[in-house]
Amino acid sequence: MLKSYAAQVEQKRGAGVIPFALFGNQVYFLFQTTFSGRKTGYLIDFGGGVGADEDCRGAAIREFIEETETMYFSSDVTNACRTPEAIEDQIPLVEALFDQTQESRPDWWCQRAQGDPLRPKRWKTFFVEFPYRDIEELNREWEADTTGRFKKRRELVWVAADELLTIYEDTPDRLWKRVRQLENAPAVIDSIRRSKQDPSISLGT
């Protein structure tokens, strides 16, 4: 019985991604919010459980595509639809973005604080550079859905690096708990900002 319980605990893993992009000489980080359920109102990463045949990276890639309903990389968001085929089509594209970031900065990721050792939180969140996209057309599609096209209504939010660091320092309760509990997240965010942002832009130091 004890062995079985330990095996179940060991198998529970999760992974996510917080995309970032350079726009107008500033670094922005992409989050989502939801309008129902326990995550309502929080800034949330894109992630979930690791499947039996997945690693953390593969799960994070899949979760981003699923939770954006395949719209982020679609040229026609009005017809974008989360089907197994559409998800599979986008996986190589997102994999390439992960490769580009991780090859140069394999340290841009965080694990979740362990907390209770009897209920370990085996979670890994990647920070990956994505192409910047105007997200308002995606948000309009979610808002306008009255036919059940999407699983739930979401809204994407770009948060500037300086603002995100301030949130971590002053108002961390705005962040969904697994984002709030990422170890060394402010250091990683600051490293990305300093690496990508024009040095003439104030770094808040």
Taken in order 153, 138, 180, 118, is the CA torsion positive or negative?
A: positive
Q: pLDDT above 70 covers what percent of the chain? A: 87
Q: What's the predicted TM-score (pTM) here?
A: 0.89
Confidence band, pLDDT 50/70/90 cuts, at residue 86: very high
Domain count, the chain: 1
Assess whether pLDDT exceeds 60 at residue 200.
no
9 in a domain, yes or no? no
Q: Determine the structural domain holding residue 110 and report its residue range.
A: 15-196
* Most confidently predicted of 11-25, 115-129, 158-172: 158-172
For the stretch 139-195, pLDDT in tens is 999 999 998 899 899 999 999 999 999 999 999 999 999 999 999 999 999 999 999
Q: Identity (one letter) of the amino acid at 28?
A: Y
- pLDDT score recorded for residue 115: 65
Is residue 97 included in any domain, yes or no? yes
Q: Domain for residue 48, yes or no? A: yes
Question: Comparing 168 with 6, which gets the higher pLDDT?
Answer: 168
148 or 97: which carries more pLDDT confidence? Answer: 97
**Is residue 1 situated within a structural domain?**
no
- Say if 4 falls within a structural domain: no
The single residue listed with the structure tokens 């039996």 is: 52
Give me 54's structure tokens. Answer: 């997945």
Is the pLDDT assigned to residue 19 strictly greater than 60? yes
Taking Cα atoms as reference points, which of 129, 199, 200, 189 lies closest to residue 165? 189
How confident is residue 7, by pLDDT bands cut at 50, 70 and 90? very low
Given pLDDT bands bounded at 50, 70 and 90, which one contains residue 38? very high
DSSP string, the chain: -HHHHHHHHHH-EEEEEEEEEEETTEEEEEEEEESSSTTTTSBB-EEEEPPTT--HHHHHHHHHHHHTTT-TT-S-TTT----HHHHHHHHHHHHHHHHHHHHH-TT-EEEBP--STTS--EEEEEEEE------HHHHHHHHH--SS-SSS-EEEEEEEHHHHHHHHHH-GGGB-HHHHTBTTHHHHHHHHHHHHS-TTS----
Q: Is residue 201 part of a domain?
A: no
CATH number, domain containing residue 95: 3.90.79.10
Q: How confident is the model at residue 116 (pLDDT cuts 50, 70, 90)?
A: low
For the segment 38-48, the average pLDDT, to the nearest whole number, is 95
Place of tokens 């079985």: 4
